[in-house]
């Protein structure tokens, strides 16, 4: 098995997964193929819609097809030349309580029919279960996983080791650590379907991140039952590489039209909201007059198109280093997704650790939620842990400017025109820093370093962002060895929060404080600055 990572952003990866039937690119979605009744012919899945892989249910195949499938093989039976993954029937256990097959029998069947990616028969945890029951599902899945390696006979199949535990995160962590020690080529998070059906994406974040933090980072992670376009960006950003979904067909049978931001009912639409080959040739009114089977086919095909388009958008966002922005736009399509995005604050250290440190572009900062993005977290850690500020007696704090880098802007030169000679001749005595969203404090000498000048932010910042910057300033002042702080304030954009915070920290540290309204003629002239320096020298 070969899984090669080509691009990274957040915990997302564009990768190449080598299977027996060919190499596929991740993030990868497997449309679920019903072995008994299928709306869209499987051959068209690859040729027209661009899906490189499919997934079907080995248990249902064994139960309804059986011996003929063993003779023809899975690829011939499904008429599909790409990669085929098989599930084991665990979902049927979740729904019906049991299946009429043993773990060993389902392994043998998947080997016989020639699955490219196959799954052991685990025991799904489910949603509303006690911790005791969840623990039993974890233990039984672990027991079956260990036994599996004595049962399998083929080495050319990629086997999936599921992680169970449901919303009981301690058990998810335990299951992930156990499964991660076994030589599965792929891991999967089990029991997420009911969580997603209830729109508990905040719980899903906890489950996925707990699994990711305890699984081998080099292995792909499959998220069972996740395939709606509006939540794919979140799942990919959390580090899920593989997905499967029957939503395209199930929604079509219910008369539901998928978009990248949600789902609409066909009978409520006046206009189709995309330009896929289906939608440009028809209207909701025309479609409603067609026979039911044609309506279902139309919706299934549209749903496949919109899903594939969203996957491509996500991949391009990863390549551009802009997945955070894309994820945030999608999160605003539903309150539950926005709640999940806020949950990333809990895992910001882990995400920062695995995120690419340099990217192909700058980024946009919209509001306080962007304070969790890795670039901001990484800078805060490095400024506190690696940067050694100069031992200057005066700390001069200047507000951000519209142009970047700040020190080259006309706005900054205008604000400091009366200090020009002092800034040029007494740089050893003056430690110049800018305060800016979303980073907090930006020392002069770091002003041009990525990503400090490679971002665009909203002005004036929202209140949470202003508070964050104020706290970062206070923490920075507490670390530097200065005797006087001069604050060039921009009250139009920052209000009183910066002045009050700086004044308070100076008072507590017995540091002299000088306030200047940066939008008016500065009262601190070069002459006045010389007097301050002279006074400090006399004190020393």
CA proximity to 152, closest of 115, 189, 188, 178: 115
- Determine the Cα–Cα distance for residues 220 and 217; give it in Å rounded to an integer: 8
- Our answer to whether residue 367 is catalytic in this structure is no
What is the residue-wise DSSP string for 32-101?
EE-SS--SS-HHHHHHTT---EEEEEHHHHHHHT-HHHHHH-HHHHHT--SEEEEE-SHHHHHHHS--SS
Q: What are phi and psi of 228, to 5 degrees?
A: -80, 130
Residue 356: count other Cβ atoms within 10 Å of its Cβ.
14
Backbone angles phi, psi at 474, to 5 degrees: -60, -45
Task: Give the chain's end-to-end CA distance (angstroms, integer).
Answer: 68
Spatial distance between the Cα atoms of 351 and 334, rounded to a whole number of angstroms: 23
> How far is Cα 284 from Cα 256, in angstroms, rounded to an integer?
12
Catalytic residue among 87, 241, 355, 490: 87
Contact 314, 234 (CB under 8 A): no
**Tokens 């969580």, located at residue:** 195
Nearest CA among 275, 299, 229, 246 for reference residue 27: 229
Q: Is 122 left (phi over 0), alpha (psi -120 to 50) or beta?
A: beta
Phi, psi of 57 (to 5 degrees): -100, 115
187 - beta bridge partners? 161, 221
CA pair distance 413, 328, nearest whole angstrom: 35
Whether the upstream peptide bond of residue 49 has omega within 30° of 0, thus cis, is: no
| DSSP-based three-state secondary structure for 213 | coil
d(CA 431, CA 482): 9
- d(CA 136, CA 3) in angstroms, rounded, equals 32
Q: For residue 312, what are the contacts with CB-CB under 8 A and spacing of at least 6?
A: none
- For 118-144, the DSSP string reads EE-------SS--HHHHHHHHHHHHHH
Are the C-beta atoms of 180 and 207 separated by less than 8 Å? no
Pairing assessment for the beta strands 53-57 and 256-259 based on DSSP bridges: unpaired
Cα angle 341-345-347, degrees, rounded to a multiple of 5? 105
| Tokens found for residue 316 | 């391009």
Active site residues: 87
């Amino acid at each position: 098995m070969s899984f090669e990572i080509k691009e990274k952003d957040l915990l997302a990866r564009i990768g190449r997964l080598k299977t027996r039937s060919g190499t596929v690119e991740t993030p990868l979605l497997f449309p679920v193929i019903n072995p008994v009744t299928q709306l869209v012919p499987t051959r068209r899945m690859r040729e027209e819609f661009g899906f490189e892989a499919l997934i079907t249910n080995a248990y249902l195949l064994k139960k309804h097809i059986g011996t003929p499938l063993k003779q023809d093989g899975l690829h011939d039976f499904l008429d599909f030349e790409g990669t085929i993954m098989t599930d084991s029937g665990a979902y049927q256990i979740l729904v019906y309580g049991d299946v009429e097959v043993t773990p060993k029998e389902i392994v043998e069947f998947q080997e016989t029919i020639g699955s490219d990616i196959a799954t052991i028969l685990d025991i799904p945890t489910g949603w509303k279960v006690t911790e005791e029951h969840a623990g039993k599902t974890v233990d039984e899945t672990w027991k079956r996983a260990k036994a599996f390696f004595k049962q399998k006979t083929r080495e050319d199949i990629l086997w999936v080791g599921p992680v169970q535990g449901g919303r009981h995160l301690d058990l998810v962590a335990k299951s992930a650590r156990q499964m991660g020690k076994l030589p599965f080529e792929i891991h999967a998070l089990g029991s997420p379907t009911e969580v997603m059906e209830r729109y508990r994406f905040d719980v899903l974040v906890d489950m996925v991140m707990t699994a990711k933090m305890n699984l081998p980072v080099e292995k792909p992670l499959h998220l069972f039952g996740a395939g709606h376009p509006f939540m794919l960006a979140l799942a990919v950003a959390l580090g899920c590489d593989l997905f499967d979904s029957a939503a395209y067909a199930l929604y079509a049978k219910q008369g539901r039209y998928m978009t990248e931001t949600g789902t609409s009912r066909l009978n409520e639409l006046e206009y189709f909201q995309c330009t896929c080959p289906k939608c440009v040739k028809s209207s909701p009114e025309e479609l409603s007059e067609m026979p039911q089977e044609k309506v279902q086919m139309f919706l299934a095909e549209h749903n496949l198109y919109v899903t594939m388009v969203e996957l491509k958008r996500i991949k391009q966002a990863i390549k551009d280093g802009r997945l955070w922005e894309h994820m945030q736009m999608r999160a605003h399509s539903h309150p539950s997704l926005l709640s999940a995005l806020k949950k990333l604050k809990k895992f910001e250290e882990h995400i920062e650790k695995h995120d690419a440190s340099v990217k192909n572009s700058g980024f946009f900062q919209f509001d306080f939620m962007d304070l969790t993005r890795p670039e901001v977290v990484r800078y805060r850690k490095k400024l506190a842990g690696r940067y050694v500020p100069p031992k200057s007696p005066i700390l001069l704090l200047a507000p951000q400017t519209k142009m970047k880098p700040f020190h080259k802007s006309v706005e900054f030169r205008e604000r400091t025109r009366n200090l020009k000679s002092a800034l040029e001749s007494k740089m050893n005595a003056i430690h110049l820093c800018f305060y800016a969203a979303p980073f907090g404090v930006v020392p002069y000498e770091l002003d041009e370093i990525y990503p400090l000048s490679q971002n665009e932010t909203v002005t004036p910042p929202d209140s949470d962002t202003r508070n964050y910057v104020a706290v970062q300033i206070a923490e920075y002042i507490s670390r530097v060895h200065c005797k006087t702080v001069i604050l060039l304030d921009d009250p139009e954009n920052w209000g009183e929060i910066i002045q009050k915070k700086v004044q308070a920290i100076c008072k507590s540290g017995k540091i002299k404080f000088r306030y200047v309204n940066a939008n008016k003629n500065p009262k601190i002239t070069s002459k006045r600055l010389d007097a301050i320096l002279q006074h400090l020298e006399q004190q020393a």
